[in-house]
A and B are shown apart, each in its own frame.
Chain A
Amino acid sequence: SQTIHQWPATLVQPVGSPLSLECTVEGTSNPNLYWYRQAAGRGLQLLFYSVGIGQISSEVPQNLSASRPQDRQFILSSKKLLLSDSGFYLCAWSEWEGHGYTFGSGTRLTVV
C-alpha cells in the first residue's frame, strides 16, 4: 500500500535561517507531488507541484523553492525564512489527473 512520510512534525526557526522540509512517498511510481501551505484559519495554498524528477512548477512567488531529486522525494527549502513563512506545510501526492490527494501529516513551522 502507498504511504507518505513528512517530517519534521513541528519546527521553530529564527528569521533569516534556512529551511528544509522533506517528503517521501512509498508504494507508487511517478506520482504527482505537491506542497501546500495552510495559514491559521485559512484554506490551503498550493506552493509547488511536480509531475516528474526535476520538474517543478511554482504557483506563487515567494522565497521558497522546491526540488525533486528522486521519483518519490520532494523537498521544500528556503535560504532565509521570513515571519510570514509561518504556517502548516503539507505534502501530498496523487496518481493521475483528478484522483484524490493523499496528504502527509504536515509540518507546523513557526518563524520567530
Chain B
Amino acid sequence: SQKIEQNSEALNIQEGKTATLTCNYTNYSPAYLQWYRQDPGRGPVFLLLIRENEKEKRKERLKVTFDTTLKQSLFHITASQPADSATYLCALAGNYGQNFVFGPGTRLSVLP
C-alpha cells in the first residue's frame, strides 16, 4: 500500500540556520508533490508545488527538491525564524492531481 513518511515527528533548530525536512514515499509514483504549513488549530496553508519533471522549486526562503529515483522530497527553509515554527506537511497526487495524500507532518521549532 502507499506510504508517506516525514523524517521526524519534531525538529528543533536554531534561528538563522537552514531547516531541512524530508518526505519519503513508497509504492507510489506521484506526478505532483506539495508542501503545506499548518499552525495549531488551523487548516494547512499551501506553500509550494513541484511536478515530477521538475527537480527543484524556490519561493523566497523556501526550496523544494523532488527526486523520483530516491522517492524523496526535501523541503528547505533558509535563514529560519521563530515565526517559521509550525507543522509542515507533504502531499502527493497522481496524474490527475485531484486527490492529494498527505504525510503525517513534521513539527518544526525554530529556537531564538
Contacts and interface: CB of A to CB of B under 8 A. Distances in A.
Interface of A: 32, 34, 36, 42-44, 46, 49, 51, 59, 90, 92, 94, 96-106, 108
Interface residues of B, number: 26
6 contacts: A43-B89, A92-B43, A96-B97, A99-B49, A100-B49, A101-B100
Nearest to A103: B43
Nearest to B4: A43
Interface string B85-98: 00001010100111
Contacts of B101: 46
A103 B44 contact: yes
B34 interface: yes
Contacts of B102: 36, 43-44
A89 to B, nearest CB: 10
